[in-house]
Chains A and B, each alone.
Chain A
Amino acid sequence: MEKALKKYSPVFILPTLAAFIIGFLYPFCQGLYLSFCKFTTVRDAAWVGLSNYAKVFADASFGNAFRFTVAFAVVSTLLINVLAFTLALVLTRGIRGTNAFRTVFFMPNLIGGIVLGYIWQILINGVLSNLAKPLLALNTAAGYWGLIILMCWQQIGYMMIIYIAGLQSIPGALTEAAEIDGANSWQILWKVKLPMVMPAVTICLFLTLTNSFKLFDQNLALTGGEPNHATELLALNIYNTFYARSGPQWKGIGQSKAVIFFILVVVIALVQLRSTRSREVQQ
């Protein structure tokens, strides 16, 4: 059996491997190459060396987008995880209607980002208009908090499910033992439950952090970067560099922004994974 598996393993791996190479590896390498080129379409690239990268750092809008993205990612990651964990705690207590609540909280995640963006744009504009405040397209603060509310609403349910899975995998014997030893519920949460769900925390932090950094659809639909690029996240900034400028040189600059963006996300994700992994405990 083992031998047969070994013999045929290439056959089983091939479809996935091919899909990975065609769909990910090849475009990625091409993208890397194009970031050093001046091009209009991918077929007529002319090598220009590092000049695209030099222009990226001369472009103030990229720095602004970066700062806005960091501010957004930090706050939304914290809020989403704290709220999702709280919900998970509440919904593992066996209160009535637990399943219904879980379903309801999970549902926003099933709606596409563009649709959500437009729905929230209407909602938030409605509120702002009633309060006689400047609407979203003129209001950086509203755009920022709008994005955070939107992302919380969309992602909390998803993260909640992961936390619930983590909480349910804690053996009852552990919490029981802690109770018998006289720990109160607060202590059980901090000293027993939280260390035990660290794997879930790792995953959730990773997902929310990278999602926040890569956010595009919701940003495009909710604010479109208005007013005047003030609420533009990195991904939208790259898109605008690519398509809103004239002249072939901008495609290359957009591409090198994308490469820098990729490196940034990878570094942040790795640092985060390493730091939370080290806190995971073995059962």
Chain B
Amino acid sequence: MKNRWLSLGLCGIMTASLLAGCGSNSSTASSAGSASASASGSAAASGKVYYLNFKPEQDQQWQDLAAKYTQETGIPVTVVTAASGQYETTLTAEMGKSDAPTLFQVNGPVGLKNWKDYCYDLSGSDVYKQLTSDDFALKDGSAVDGIAYVIETYGIIYNKALLEKSGHSVSEITNFASLKSVVDDITANSSKLGFAAFTSAGMDGSSDWRFKTHLANLPIYYEYKADGIGFTDAIKGTYLDNYRQIWDLYINNSTCSPKDLSAKTGDDAVSEFVNGKAVFYQNGTWAYNDIKSVGDDNLGMLPIYIGAQGEENQGLCTGSENYWCVNKNAPAEDIQATLDFLNWVVTSDEGTTALAQDMGFVSPFKAAKESTNPLVKIANQYIADGKTSVDWCFATMPSEEWKNGVGSALTAYAADQTDAKWAAVVSAFVDGWASEAKLANG
């Protein structure tokens, strides 16, 4: 009998642990709904807006802006921000609910594939007419599915004071060869100088996108340019030797041994850069808040030179992976409310100020104000100087899976820099692209 009780009790424990195993992954969305609407308002006041925001850095600013709009018009605006790296998961969950987001984001043509059937055609909307160029619209045939709302730029951010201390100036660096000679010189003297050339090229999940996505953009960009295309199902890898050059430069001249890169995080790189342990740090305008303690005047940005033909005229990498999409399955009055809200954000004084100053965005809208972000100013200078910006071709990468494959191969190569390991990178890049493109379309 005793035995029965034992097994009964254990069964209980067992069931409990089973159930615990089945626990749903509750989305870690930070939600702070706006105040409920006051009764005042115009005809569209019956609608409501629910924005699922992609950028955790700007969560508070969006909440404030939404509250302001609600105060002004009485239309409730809810902003929910997905946790970093969890946007797709959160969006999938939220879109399945009855009160689905009316406004969401995709990251480009590949991200759009998942959500095409949910995108309201924005071609007749006011906010579309506010775009400065059609390049910033994400189109599917003649339908406008998404509208870019922030233009970002990345390159090699550098610390001016440290560069001077090493006896070099930025005017020396005009292509890959000159970048390499400066870097080699810093590495040769690094023990004397007390800092390295590059921050650690961490391949932890918090940092690897800088290399498997952003750095990988350059060989893709040059290949597209050479072939005169904007999209492909089969990359050839013409510029992969250049990719190897720049990757070698990053990993062999950094603050740590290339063998340790697999465990280095994004925070490691930031702290190395902020604490003056390295001169160069590959990242973009969005990173300004992390590194501003270096000092606005002390920050500079260089194009990522990979040794391609004519790169003396190459600028920074500029583009967008943030597209607004309106959920076409939402009730008509909600869609209208969302469109009105968007138009208000990009045209009103409060909206444009919030975008440019509070969030530090460069927005491709006619009424946009100038951003206060110093990295943005540097980026604008390159354009004013007549340099050709590098497009963000990484939005055409076939899948997350492809990026992960390239990332794995890059990490393995960093720890053991042989031709065989590089062949694995090439295979992940070229063969992986073909097979992933086939799987994504199939």
Q: Give chain A's interface residues, CB within 8 Å of chain B.
A: 24, 40-44, 121, 125, 129, 132, 134-138, 162, 165-166, 169, 199-200, 202-203, 206-207, 210-211, 214, 224, 226-229, 240, 243-251, 282-283
In angstroms, Cα B398 to Cα A202, docked, is 47
In angstroms, Cα B10 to Cα A199, docked, is 9
Q: Which B296-336 residues have a C-beta within 8 angstroms of A? A: none
A206 touches B14 (CB 8 A): yes
B399 touches A244 (CB 8 A): yes
- Give chain B nearest CB distance to A58 CB in angstroms: 10
Contacts of B111 in A (CB 8 A): 246
In angstroms, Cα B401 to Cα A125, docked, is 25
Considering only CB atoms, which chain A residue lies closest to B17 in the complex? A207
User: Which of A44, A202, A247 sits near B113, CB closer than 8 Å?
Assistant: A247
B415 touches A134 (CB 8 A): yes
- Give chain A nearest CB distance to B26 CB in angstroms: 13
Contacts of A166 in B (CB 8 A): 6
Contacts of B96 in A (CB 8 A): 41-43
Contacts of B13 in A (CB 8 A): 162
Q: Which B381-407 residues have a C-beta within 8 angstroms of A? A: 398-401, 404-405
In angstroms, Cα B2 to Cα A166, docked, is 10
- Given A137-B263, A248-B114, A227 and B398 contact (CB-CB distance below 8 Å): no
User: Which of B2, B11, B95 sits near A169, CB closer than 8 Å?
Assistant: B2
> At the interface with chain A, which of B52-60, B169-177, B434-442?
B434-442
In angstroms, Cα B13 to Cα A200, docked, is 12
In angstroms, Cα B235 to Cα A88, docked, is 59
In angstroms, Cα B399 to Cα A214, docked, is 26
Interface size on B, residues (CB 8 A): 48
B415 touches A138 (CB 8 A): yes
In angstroms, Cα B21 to Cα A24, docked, is 12
A40 touches B118 (CB 8 A): yes
In angstroms, Cα B20 to Cα A24, docked, is 12
- Give chain B nearest CB distance to A111 CB in angstroms: 14
The reply on B166 being an interface residue by CB < 8 A is no
A203 touches B10 (CB 8 A): yes
Contacts of B401 in A (CB 8 A): 240, 244-245
- Give chain A nearest CB distance to B349 CB in angstroms: 37
Residue from B2, B88, B263, B412 whose CB has the most chain A CB atoms within 10 Å = B263
- Given A135-B263, A137-B263, A200 and B400 contact (CB-CB distance below 8 Å): no
- Give chain A nearest CB distance to B92 CB in angstroms: 6
In angstroms, Cα B101 to Cα A130, docked, is 49
- Given A43-B96, A138-B412, A207-B17, A246 and B114 contact (CB-CB distance below 8 Å): yes
Q: Give chain B's interface residues, CB within 8 Å of chain A.
A: 2-3, 6-7, 10-11, 13-14, 17-19, 21-22, 88-89, 92, 95-96, 110-111, 113-115, 117-118, 203, 205, 259-260, 262-263, 398-401, 404-405, 408-409, 411-412, 415-416, 428, 439-442
In angstroms, Cα B260 to Cα A214, docked, is 31
B262 touches A136 (CB 8 A): yes
B260 touches A137 (CB 8 A): no
B95 touches A245 (CB 8 A): no
Considering only CB atoms, which chain A residue lies closest to B203 in the complex? A137
In angstroms, Cα B3 to Cα A203, docked, is 13
A136 touches B6 (CB 8 A): no
Considering only CB atoms, which chain A residue lies closest to B262 in the complex? A137
- Given A41-B96, A207-B14, A247-B113, A169 and B88 contact (CB-CB distance below 8 Å): no
A246 touches B440 (CB 8 A): yes
- Give chain B nearest CB distance to A250 CB in angstroms: 8
Considering only CB atoms, which chain A residue lies closest to B23 in the complex? A23
B10 touches A41 (CB 8 A): no
In angstroms, Cα B221 to Cα A283, docked, is 76
In angstroms, Cα B92 to Cα A40, docked, is 7
In angstroms, Cα B27 to Cα A118, docked, is 20
- Give chain A nearest CB distance to B425 CB in angstroms: 11
In angstroms, Cα B408 to Cα A240, docked, is 15
In angstroms, Cα B18 to Cα A207, docked, is 9
Residue from B11, B398, B412, B441 whose CB has the most chain A CB atoms within 10 Å = B412
User: Which of A40, A136, A165, A211 sits near B95, CB closer than 8 Å?
Assistant: A40
Contacts of A228 in B (CB 8 A): 405, 408-409, 412, 428
Q: Which 7 A-B pairs have the closest CB atoms?
A: A137-B262, A41-B96, A228-B408, A244-B400, A41-B95, A203-B10, A247-B440
Provide a sorted-by-A list of 25 A–B residue pairs whose CB atoms are within 8 angstroms.
A40-B95, A40-B118, A42-B96, A134-B259, A135-B260, A137-B408, A138-B411, A138-B415, A166-B6, A169-B3, A203-B11, A206-B14, A211-B21, A226-B262, A226-B408, A226-B411, A227-B412, A228-B412, A229-B408, A240-B401, A243-B89, A243-B92, A246-B110, A246-B113, A283-B3
Contacts of A250 in B (CB 8 A): 439
**Other 7 A-B pairs with CB < 8 A, given A240-B401, A246-B400:** A40-B117, A41-B95, A136-B263, A227-B408, A243-B88, A243-B89, A250-B439
